[in-house]
Amino acid sequence: MSHETPHELSTDAPLECLNCGTPLHGEYCSSCGQAAHEGRHPTIAHFGHELVHEFVHVDGKIFRTLKALLFQPGLLTQEYWKGRITPWIRPLRIFLIVVALNLLIVHDKVGPMNFQVGVYEDAKGKRDVEINTQGTAPRNRKDLVPVAEHERHEFANNFRTAYSSIRYFSVLFYTLGVWLLFRRRQPFIVNQLVASFHTYSFWYVMAAVGGRVELLKVPAAFLVAVYMFLSVRRLYGHGWKRTTFESVLLIVWLSLIELVLAFTAAVMVEHGWIFNLGGH
């Protein structure tokens, strides 16, 4: 009778993937992609190697993507259109990360245009809401006085919640405009959606910069315009004059969309619709 251990009995048999059980015929499982050595008596040296590899791979991918987003307008979109997707963080993930960071950094302002909210009353108690990017003082109405701070704060919080519940429609509306403008050069609307995610991601980064440092407010807005021009130039290859015209159209379209969303959010708060959407 043989006294071989189970481990010794299995040495001549082909190894199986510990994740899915598929027979292994190389360094990686042909079914699930897990490395052949994963889970098999790891050593400290092997664990250290994996740790360094994962850190360098993920960290490098993050910094490479951020560098392209901030300093190479249109490159990320162009790479995606060409099918080179794996080296970069995906467009939707970039957008969601940047929006989340914007909310943390600029918590007292709303959206990529840094809207601010002021609430006032006239002598008859009629309320007036001011939503703009230049501060919250009432314009052309000397008879208005600010409401109590806790009322303004409550309205501002509800406005922020209402805006957040509809903010993603802005990307869809912007994409529709871009597709109508460039559908002959790029007929696939999903590819235009990718471009929109990258554009909005950069815009939210600049909004965070301009929202926290007042002196950088104008330079940040200028950089958004420059980014738009260079991105359009790279992606669609039109001449300078045509690219300038197209960029102006897109900036106007962006601004119009955000103003409509801000107005809609204010109406939602006024009518209490925010609570039906899970706001607080």
Residue 172 clears pLDDT 50, i.e. is over it:
yes
pLDDT tens digits along 49-84 = 565 555 445 557 888 999 999 999 999 999 999 999
Number of neighbouring beta carbons within 10 Å of residue 180: 11
Domain map (residue ranges) of the chain: 1-41, 91-114+153-277
DSSP of 4-43: --HHHHTTTSPPB-TTT-PBP-SSB-TTT--BTTTTSS--
pLDDT tens digits along 180-223 = 999 999 999 999 999 999 999 999 999 999 988 888 889 999 99
pLDDT recorded at residue 255: 93
Report residue 11's pLDDT band, with 50, 70 and 90 as the boundaries: very low
pLDDT tens digits along 94-146 = 999 999 999 889 888 888 999 888 888 877 777 778 888 776 555 556 667 87
Residue 273 clears pLDDT 90, i.e. is over it:
no
Report residue 152's pLDDT band, with 50, 70 and 90 as the boundaries: confident
pLDDT recorded at residue 232: 97
User: Taking Cα atoms as reference points, which of 205, 203, 117, 208 lies closest to residue 160?
Assistant: 117
pLDDT recorded at residue 277: 43
Q: What tokens does 260 get? A: 């409509």
Q: 249: number of CA atoms within 13 Å, CB side?
A: 13
User: Taking Cα atoms as reference points, which of 179, 165, 196 lies closest to residue 268?
Assistant: 165
What distance in Å separates the CA atoms of residue 176 and residue 181, rounded to the nearest whole number?
Answer: 9
Q: What tokens does 7 get? A: 């481990």
pLDDT tens digits along 15-47 = 788 888 888 887 788 878 777 766 656 666 665
Look-up: residue for tokens 């909005």?
A: 200
Q: Whole-model pTM?
A: 0.76
